[in-house]
Chain A
Amino acid sequence: MAVYRRIYRPYSGRFTNENFRFLVLARYGLKTLFDSRPLLAFFVACNIPSLLFVLAIYVSHSTAAQALLNMKGAILNVDNFFFMRYLLFQATLSFLIASWVGPGLVSSDLSNDALPLYFARPFSRTEYVLGKFSVIAILLSSITWVPGLIIFGLQANLAGWEWFSKFYWVAGSIFIGSWLWIALIALLSLALSAWVKWKIASTTLMLGVFFALAAFGEAVNEVLRTSWGKLFNLGYLISVVWLDLFRVEQFSERINVRGSFVQLPAWAAWIALLGLTAFCLLMLNRKLKAREVVR
C-alpha cells in the first residue's frame, strides 16, 4: 500500500515463524556493528591467522609449493596440539571482539528503557537473550570453530585417511571447545552490559574480570600456598578444559614454559566455567525485565 494513504489499518498479512524471531535481533545487531568501519577492519584482520594456517597446511602438503619456497621435509606437524594452538590464538582475538561488541548490546536498550517495547510484543526474555547472544556467537563462530573445522577438513583431505582416523575426534574438540568459550564470554559480556549501562565501564569490567581476577587468584595462591586460586583465572580454566578436550599431555614441555604448568583437575575447570556461565544467565534473568520493581 502506498505510504501517502494516511489511514490506520489493521495488519492482516502473514507472520514470521516465532521460533526464529530472535534472529531479527541478531540481524539488526550485526548490521549496526558492521556500520562501524574499525570493527569491520578488525574482524577481517581476525581471519588473517586462519588464512595463514590454511596456507601453512597447504604448503606442508604441496611439494610444488615447498620447491617453490625452497623448503625440504616436513615443515609442520599437524596434530591435536596444532589445532589447540590455533584455537588459543583465535580465542584471544575473539575475546577482544566480545569486549568490543558485547557491552553495547544490552546497555543501549536498558539506557533507553526500550525493554518494555520488546516484551510488550510476542517476544520473551529468553528470545531476547538468545537474539543478543546470537550477535556475539555469529561473530565469534566465524573466527573460531567455523574456520577451525575448515582447516581441519583441509588437513584431513590432504593428509588422507590414516591421519583422519587418528585425529577425527579433534573436530569435536574444536566445536565443543569453541562453543564453551563463546558461551562463556558472550554471556559474561551480556551480563556485564545489563548491569553496567555505561559501555566504557562495562568494557573495562570485562577486561577486569579476566585480568584482575587472575591477579587476585595468584594472590590467593601465594597467601594460602595453594593452587586453587587459579579457579579465578578464566584464561587458565579454559586452557585446562581445552587440554582435556584436545587430549594434550606434557603441555609445559611442548610450549617450552619455564617451570611446571600447575594443572588443576579438568573437572574443577569444567565446573568453574559452567558455574560462571550459569551465574551470568542468572544475572541476565534478574536484570532483563520490562519493568523493574523498586523496593
Chain B
Amino acid sequence: MIELENLSVQLGGISILSNLSASLKGRAIGLLGPNGSGKSTLINTLLGFFPPSSGTARIFGKDIQTHTKELRTIIGYMPESDSFISEMSGVAFVRYMAEISGLPSNEALERAHEAFYYVGLGEVRYRKIGTYSLGMKQMAKLAQAIVHGPQLLFLDEPTNGLDPPARQRMIKLIGEIRDTPGMHLILSSHLLRDVEECCEEALILRDGKVAAYCNLDEERRSNRKFIEMETVGAKDDFSQAIEQLGCECAWFSNGRAKLVLPQDVEMRQLYSTAAQYSVQIRKMNYRRDSLEDIFLRAMDGKFPQAKVKAQSNGSL
C-alpha cells in the first residue's frame, strides 16, 4: 500500500525523518512513537504538505510528489488538532468538504447526512460545529474524512480527549471502516491499545527512523516464551548474565523484568543464574507478547535489526 524509499524530511533545517524505508502492506497500520518521533510529519509528508528533502514515497504505486492531486482524491484525513469551520452547521461543513473533494452538490449533501448518521451525530447535524463537545468534534472530523469515500484513511490521534464510551464508539467505527473491502487505514496514536485493537501491523518510529515494523499477530505468535518476573537483589551483573543466555530483556522499577526466552533456553537456567548471583525470583509468569512490549523493545533499540530490515523490505 505505502512504500517509503529512503524518505527524509527536513523542516526549518532540522532533520525530522531520516532515510525511512519500509513497505507497508497491511490494511490497517498503526503508527507509533514517542512525541517528536515523526509520526505526524510522516502523515503530513504522505499528504504532500511537506516536501521530502530526499527519497520519496509511493501510495498505491503512485509517487507522492508527482501524483499528489490524484492521491488526495482517494485519501481521507482526520487531523489531530481541531480543524473545522465553527460557524457552519455540521452537515453543511461536511457537505462543503465533500464538494471540495469533487462530489457534485446533491451527492455531497446526501453523503454528508449519511456520514453524520454513521458517526452517530445524526441528531445534532444542524447545530453549529463550534457548539459541539470535544467528542462530537472528533466524530465530525471523522465524518469529513470519510464523506468522499476514500480508499485510504489517515487518522491522527482519533481518540484524543474522548471519554471511555466515546473511545469505544470511535474504535468500533474505525474497525468497521477497516473491514470494508478495499479500505486501508493508517492510525497514528500514542495509545498502544488503540493500535492493538484496530491495526494488523505497527510501524514504530524513534527519532525519525524506523525502530520497528511488525505484524502484530505474528509477533505475538513468535514470542510464546515470554516471561514477566519480579526479582529481589538483581543488579547489572545478573541482567548481563540473563542477556548472555540469549534473552531479550527489559527491566522496570522494583526489580520487575520482561524477558523473551529463545527456544533453546530452559526455565531452570534462569533459576540457576539467579541462584548464582544471589537473586530471589519472587514471581514468574508466562505472558503473551503485547504491543507495549514490542514498543518498549523498539524504544530500547532492542527490536532485532535484522527483523526491522527484513520487514521494512516487505518480506514479512
Residue of A nearest to B47 (CB): A120
Shortest distance between the CB of A234 and any CB in chain B (Å):
31
> Does more than half of chain A's interface fall in helix, strand or loop, or is it mixed?
loop
B118 and A8 contacting across the interface, CB-CB below 8 Å: yes
Please give, as numbers and ranges, the residues of chain A lying within 8 Å of B13 by CB-CB distance. 295
B85 and A122 contacting across the interface, CB-CB below 8 Å: no
Please pick, from B11, B70, B99, the residue contacting A24 in the complex, using a CB distance under 8 A.
B99
Among residues 114 to 167 in chain B, which have CB atoms less than 8 Å away from a CB atom of chain A?
Answer: 114, 117-118, 122, 144, 146, 148-151, 154
Please pick, from A6, A122, A290, the residue contacting B102 in the complex, using a CB distance under 8 A.
A122
A32 and B89 CA atoms in complex are apart in Å by: 12
Taking the complex as formed, is A289 at the interface, i.e. its CB lies under 8 A from any CB of chain B? Answer: yes
A9 and B75 CA atoms in complex are apart in Å by: 14
A28 and B89 CA atoms in complex are apart in Å by: 13
Shortest distance between the CB of A28 and any CB in chain B (Å):
6
A113-B81 contact, Cβ under 8 Å, with A11-B148, A13-B104: yes
Among residues 1 to 58 in chain A, which have CB atoms less than 8 Å away from a CB atom of chain B?
Answer: 1, 3-16, 18, 21, 24-25, 28, 32
A14-B104 contact, Cβ under 8 Å, with A113-B83, A116-B79: yes
B58-83 near A? 1/0 per residue, CB < 8 Å: 00000000000110110111010111
A122 and B72 contacting across the interface, CB-CB below 8 Å: yes
Taking the complex as formed, is B180 at the interface, i.e. its CB lies under 8 A from any CB of chain A? Answer: yes
Taking the complex as formed, is A270 at the interface, i.e. its CB lies under 8 A from any CB of chain B? Answer: no
Taking the complex as formed, is A201 at the interface, i.e. its CB lies under 8 A from any CB of chain B? Answer: no
Please give, as numbers and ranges, the residues of chain B lying within 8 Å of A18 by CB-CB distance. 69, 102
Taking the complex as formed, is A166 at the interface, i.e. its CB lies under 8 A from any CB of chain B? Answer: no
Taking the complex as formed, is A161 at the interface, i.e. its CB lies under 8 A from any CB of chain B? Answer: no
Residue of A nearest to B70 (CB): A122
Please give, as numbers and ranges, the residues of chain B lying within 8 Å of A122 by CB-CB distance. 69-70, 72-73, 101-102
Residue of A nearest to B87 (CB): A108
Taking the complex as formed, is B86 at the interface, i.e. its CB lies under 8 A from any CB of chain A? Answer: yes
Please give, as numbers and ranges, the residues of chain A lying within 8 Å of B103 by CB-CB distance. 11, 13, 15-16
Please give, as numbers and ranges, the residues of chain A lying within 8 Å of B72 by CB-CB distance. 120-123
Residue of A nearest to B10 (CB): A293
Taking the complex as formed, is A244 at the interface, i.e. its CB lies under 8 A from any CB of chain B? Answer: no
Shortest distance between the CB of B93 and any CB in chain A (Å):
9
Taking the complex as formed, is A118 at the interface, i.e. its CB lies under 8 A from any CB of chain B? Answer: yes
Please pick, from B69, B97, B111, B114, the residue contacting A117 in the complex, using a CB distance under 8 A.
B97
Interface centre among B83, B146, B182 (most CB of A within 10 A): B83
Shortest distance between the CB of A99 and any CB in chain B (Å):
20
A291 and B146 contacting across the interface, CB-CB below 8 Å: no
6 residue pairs from A and B, CB less than 8 Å apart? A3-B110, A8-B118, A8-B180, A15-B103, A24-B99, A114-B83
Shortest distance between the CB of A189 and any CB in chain B (Å):
19
A120 and B75 contacting across the interface, CB-CB below 8 Å: yes
Taking the complex as formed, is A112 at the interface, i.e. its CB lies under 8 A from any CB of chain B? Answer: yes
Please give, as numbers and ranges, the residues of chain B lying within 8 Å of A1 by CB-CB distance. 110, 114
B82 and A112 contacting across the interface, CB-CB below 8 Å: yes
A10 and B79 CA atoms in complex are apart in Å by: 20
B85 and A109 contacting across the interface, CB-CB below 8 Å: yes
B11 and A118 contacting across the interface, CB-CB below 8 Å: no
A114-135 near B? 1/0 per residue, CB < 8 Å: 1011111111100000000000
Shortest distance between the CB of B1 and any CB in chain A (Å):
16
B11 and A293 contacting across the interface, CB-CB below 8 Å: yes
List the 5 closest A-B pairs by CB distance, nearest first.
A11-B149, A120-B77, A15-B102, A295-B12, A10-B149
A60 and B305 CA atoms in complex are apart in Å by: 90
A123 and B100 contacting across the interface, CB-CB below 8 Å: yes
Taking the complex as formed, is B39 at the interface, i.e. its CB lies under 8 A from any CB of chain A? Answer: no
Please give, as numbers and ranges, the residues of chain B lying within 8 Å of A11 by CB-CB distance. 103, 107, 111, 148-149
A116 and B83 contacting across the interface, CB-CB below 8 Å: yes
Please give, as numbers and ranges, the residues of chain B lying within 8 Å of A4 by CB-CB distance. 117
Taking the complex as formed, is A67 at the interface, i.e. its CB lies under 8 A from any CB of chain B? Answer: no
A119-B49 contact, Cβ under 8 Å, with A13-B103, A28-B96, A113-B81: yes
Shortest distance between the CB of B84 and any CB in chain A (Å):
6
Please give, as numbers and ranges, the residues of chain B lying within 8 Å of A112 by CB-CB distance. 82-86
- Other A-B contacts than A7-B118, A119-B47, A121-B97, 8 sampled, CB-CB below 8 A, are A1-B110, A3-B122, A8-B177, A11-B107, A112-B86, A117-B77, A120-B47, A293-B11
A210 and B96 CA atoms in complex are apart in Å by: 34
Please give, as numbers and ranges, the residues of chain B lying within 8 Å of A262 by CB-CB distance. none
B117 and A6 contacting across the interface, CB-CB below 8 Å: yes
Please give, as numbers and ranges, the residues of chain B lying within 8 Å of A9 by CB-CB distance. 114, 149, 180
A15 and B104 CA atoms in complex are apart in Å by: 6
Taking the complex as formed, is A294 at the interface, i.e. its CB lies under 8 A from any CB of chain B? Answer: yes
Residue of A nearest to B77 (CB): A120
A109 and B107 CA atoms in complex are apart in Å by: 24
A65 and B214 CA atoms in complex are apart in Å by: 88
A16 and B104 CA atoms in complex are apart in Å by: 6
